[in-house]
Amino acid sequence: MSTQAIEVPTDAELLQAQADLWRHSLYYLSSMGIRCAVELEIPTTIHHLGGVTSLPDLMSALSLPPGKMSFLARLMRVLVTSGVFAADIGSESGVELYRLTPLSRVLVHGVVADEHHSQKYFVLGVTSPHYTEAAFGLTNWFKKDHEPPVPSSFEDIFGVPLCDEKTPLLDEELDKVVNLGLAAHDNLGIATILRECHDIFKGLESLTDCGGGDGTTARAIIKAYPHIKCTVLDLPKVVDKGPADGVINYVPGDLFHSVPSSQAVMLKLVLHTWNDEDWPIMFEAQLFMDMLMMVNSKGGQRGENDWRKLFMKAGFTDYKIVKKLGARSVIEVYP
């Protein structure tokens, strides 16, 4: 055992360290709190109540047993503190009122707003028992000397990769929730991209969306720029489900083999740029996303240096970060 002395923190440091320890060790209650809110449909219920509600009205709209009123107040207090909801004292009634915030508005289910769909399934997927079990398995996974390609902790525990043809055999409901969650996640912000980056679509006549999924992004582009001829390239199992309505040219294939020719090619996945000290919360969100991918897939988030190397290795001459949009970025890459 080491007999080395340890630096004793000051009283103030010690108290701060204890508070930080509570926060970091109990972050999972923040995740489970937002999951509980989504499962109870609190955001959707507040929306149906006009976007603002008192605790008793929320209780009765949720049909919860009266004995749970004070407990719901405690859950709401945590969710208000973390920005999921807002609270204030009604000027007329003098009682506390809960309101939706931008965060809880994207959790309202059954309403399509600004081209995007509710993020309900994103929350249910990433806080699911399978995801959390994969995260629990991280210590064992680190200790195992895996042969490359190193499986994710998820695959190591459950024997199948996530988002794979075999995932439904593990759990059909999980597969459904994860796919709905991914679709919701990928579609969030399309309207923002079109508004904020309209210059990149100006003068464009044809575009291939590589890995464009069911064509939701391509559809939003055509709606905003009807003259652009959009092709969606994706794996046959994805494209075969796309509607053959003539609006989008769906091409089944593998982007590593060939890409239908067009004026520009789009790869809309999640391109994160790091090293942005001005955005510590965005940075933390990006790091959590990287950790999520490490636990559940073989992928990871790339920093700007990684992207630069990748673009150059692929034979491109230059790139430009056109826009940073929250935790994501739009990057133009030039031949």
User: Interface residues with ligand SAM (CB under 6 A)?
Assistant: 182, 186-187, 211-213, 217, 233-235, 238, 254-256, 268-269
Of 107, 106, 86, the residue nearest 97 (C-alpha): 86
In the bound state with ligand SAM, the residue whose beta carbon lies nearer, of 24 and 237, is: 237
CB neighbour list of residue 270: distance below 8 Å, 6 or more residues apart = 186, 289, 301, 328
DSSP letter assigned to residue 225: -
Q: How far is the CB of 220 from ligand SAM (least distance, A)?
A: 10
- The answer to whether 106 touches 188, Cβ cutoff 8 Å, is yes
Tokens, residue 195: 């508004």
In the bound state with ligand SAM, the residue whose beta carbon lies nearer, of 101 and 206, is: 206
Q: How far is the CB of 266 from ligand SAM (least distance, A)?
A: 8
In the bound state with ligand SAM, the residue whose beta carbon lies nearer, of 48 and 302, is: 302
Q: How far is the CB of 272 from ligand SAM (least distance, A)?
A: 13
Tokens, residue 172: 């059909």
Q: How far is CA 41 from the centre of its chain?
A: 19
In the bound state with ligand SAM, the residue whose beta carbon lies nearer, of 41 and 234, is: 234
Q: Mind giving me the DSSP string for 204-216?
A: --EEEEET-TTSH
Catalytic residue among 117, 130, 185, 272: 272
Q: How far is the CB of 258 from ligand SAM (least distance, A)?
A: 10
- The answer to whether 314 touches 263, Cβ cutoff 8 Å, is no
Tokens, residue 78: 């945590």
- The answer to whether 239 touches 251, Cβ cutoff 8 Å, is yes
In the bound state with ligand SAM, the residue whose beta carbon lies nearer, of 32 and 224, is: 224
In the bound state with ligand SAM, the residue whose beta carbon lies nearer, of 42 and 266, is: 266
Q: How far is the CB of 247 from ligand SAM (least distance, A)?
A: 16
In the bound state with ligand SAM, the residue whose beta carbon lies nearer, of 138 and 182, is: 182
Q: How far is the CB of 256 from ligand SAM (least distance, A)?
A: 5
Among this protein's residues, is 272 annotated catalytic?
A: yes
Q: What angle do CA 32, 37, 39 make, to 5 degrees?
A: 90
d(CA 211, CA 255) in angstroms, rounded, equals: 7
The CA–CA distances, whole Å, from 181 to 90, 174, 177, 251 equal: 35, 10, 6, 24
- Give the dihedral of Cα atoms 167, 171, 173, 176; nearest 10 deg: 0
Q: How far is the CB of 253 from ligand SAM (least distance, A)?
A: 6
CB-based closest residue to ligand SAM? 211
d(CA 151, CA 168) in angstroms, rounded, equals: 18
| Owner of token pair 């988002």 | 163
The DSSP H or E segment spanning 99 is strand 96-100
Residues carrying an active site annotation: 272
